[in-house]
Structure 1
Amino acid sequence: MVNRKVSLFERWRAARIFAVLLLGVGVTATTNLGMQAHADDCAAVDVVVARGTHEPGFLGATIGDPLYDTLQQALPVSAGAYRVNYPADLLDAASLSRGTQDMTNHVIQQSEACPDQRFILVGYSQGAAVVHGVLGTGIVTALPGIYPLPGELQWKVSSVLLFGDPIRLIGWGVPGQFGWRTANYCAGGDPVCGGGIDPTQHSNYGWAMWPAAWFAASQV
């Protein structure tokens, strides 16, 4: 009976998060999930990006691609990038779980291959929920199959950049140890992160590229 109650509670939380995420469904795109990293494998900083729902582009046309271009100009050290391999599909019940697994496994593997490498974790819309799961945000880790980052690797995260974050809308932030390393951007009127009424604002984040890049550069 206890297990049934826990299961129903987890399903309710999952339904609530996905209901919010549905507001952020973008255009359908064809992407190559086999593409993994680009730039130097052992660059000083690895920019790990979880894109938004059906977001086109390699790292994500709305956030990841323009942000990485800006970061390369702002960072005082070399940078590489990794595209989190997950469905980014709200119709796939395992989407968030697979995203957290891939992001966490990537950080673990890179930490073994490149011990001095630091990480900038980036998430947009559904991808922001993935980052929350990796960081250990309670409302997300309560869901089945979430893979948080091991505690001994948390110090390697130099900064966290979130855009159009649905977890922000329901009143949750990143765990305290990541608070000072996190910048969370929500466009005015964005219904996904701020409860606004203008869906077009969910893709209006060009203004945040340089503030986010300078924030990340200050944390390296």
Structure 2
Amino acid sequence: MLSGRTHGARFSRGLRSVTLLGALAATAALLAGCAAEPDPTVARDALREVTAEPAAPDALEEYDAEAHPEPIVEPLECSPYLVITARGTGEPKKKQLLGPVARAISAARPGEVERLELDYPADTEINAGATLGARTLIDTLNLQAESCPDQRTILLGYSQGALVIGDALAASDARLVGVNVGAVSEAAAESVLAVVLYGNPRFVGADPSGYGSYSPDTNGILPRPPGSFAGYEGRLRDYCVSDDFICQATLSMEEAGHVAYYDNGMQSDGAAYVITRLGPITERAEPEPEPTEESPSPSPSAGAEVG
């Protein structure tokens, strides 16, 4: 895995080496097509309100895990892999940045992947919406780990979705949203196979999980405490490019960087990274054919006594 200080030309070399894997031959086709792009300015302004105008505690009481301990989600099927996506602020239901990434992962393991889009608003009311997202994600991870102990989970997040995933995985004292929504259990944390984030507002340039053309001396607009992802080191890629003012808080007014992930190859690279972490393809035994008139049941073996 490349460190937070590896960017520029080394990213390009790493991208080429990973995407040449034979198992990824169909990935390019799955990643093709135009996607509607969110408005980076709207996302930035909404994210800043998380700290400028924090929500009153009583407004988020319904998501408090201590006051309301029952999970707010139902268990899903026990597939070998569960891919959970958390979309960015204002992204439409269809043609999201993370959709092609999830589809490429599913294509690599036909019949083995359950996909779930995290049910949260992803709107500009981030204090409330992202808190709901964090509670929903934590409950989902914990319930799946209990119901399906052999299932492995892949988490994909973009922009506000990256904030939601990151805060859910982090300790409560390192969160901006969802401080009281509970914690990921030890079993659930162990079940997480890979985490891929794009345009993370809580990006920390010095963390080893960073990947891309960013400056390691520059953080996101809402950086989390360094080392918050230490427990997921080796399982996480936090993608950021140098002109993305969400994950690289600068005075630049250029907005193209935050939507560059749609066509800069990082969708493909994120999918490739996850696919290389999947286990061997499950071999399924071929069912024995049903007896027919043309194909009668086998006769007793030679020499066997027939009663």
CA RMSD of aligned residues (A): 3.0
Overall identity of the aligned pairs, in % = 26
Deviations, residues 29-77 of structure 1 (Å, cap 9, x unaligned): xxxxxxx99xx9332110111111121125xx33221111221234588
Structure 2 unaligned blocks of 5 or more = 1-44, 52-72, 204-219, 279-307
1:182 to 219, 236, 242: 236
The Cα of 1:21 is off from its aligned counterpart by 7.6
1:162 to 191, 197, 207: 197
TM-score by length of 1: 0.74
The Cα of 1:124 is off from its aligned counterpart by 0.7
Q: Aligned partners of 2:134, 2:125: CA distance in 1, in Å?
A: 17
Task: Identify the residue that residue 140 of structure 1 maps to in structure 2.
Answer: 175
Task: Identify the residue that residue 6 of structure 1 maps to in structure 2.
Answer: none
Residue correspondence of structure 1 range 168-207 to structure 2 within 5 A: 168=203, 169=220, 170=223, 172=226, 174-195=228-249, 197=252, 198-206=254-262, 207=265
Larger radius of gyration: 2
Residue correspondence of structure 1 range 41-80 to structure 2 within 5 A: 41-58=77-94, 61-75=95-109, 78-80=112-114
Deviations, residues 97-153 of structure 1 (Å, cap 9, x unaligned): 111111111122222332211100111101111111121155316764343312232
Task: Identify the residue that residue 211 of structure 1 maps to in structure 2.
Answer: 269
Q: Is the 8 A contact 1:57 1:65 kept in 2?
A: no
Larger mean Cα displacement after TM superposition, 93-102 or 168-177:
168-177
> Does 2:162 align with 1:128?
yes
Q: Aligned partners of 1:214, 1:76: CA distance in 2, in Å?
A: 16
The Cα of 1:17 is off from its aligned counterpart by 9.0
Q: Is the 8 A contact 1:67 1:213 kept in 2?
A: yes
Structure 1 unaligned blocks of 5 or more = 1-15, 23-35
Determine helix, strand or coil for the equivalent of 1:191: coil
Determine helix, strand or coil for the equivalent of 2:83: strand
Q: Aligned partners of 2:170, 2:128: CA distance in 1, in Å?
A: 17
Moved >6 Å (runs of 4+): none
> Does 2:141 align with 1:87?
no
Q: Aligned partners of 2:198, 2:126: CA distance in 1, in Å?
A: 22
> Does 2:48 align with 1:19?
yes
1:104 to 129, 138, 156: 138
Structure with the larger helix share: 1
Report how many aligned residue pairs link the two structures. 188
The Cα of 1:165 is off from its aligned counterpart by 0.3
Q: Aligned partners of 1:17, 1:176: CA distance in 2, in Å?
A: 28
Q: Specify the code of the residue in structure 2 equivalent to 1:70.
A: A
The Cα of 1:195 is off from its aligned counterpart by 2.8
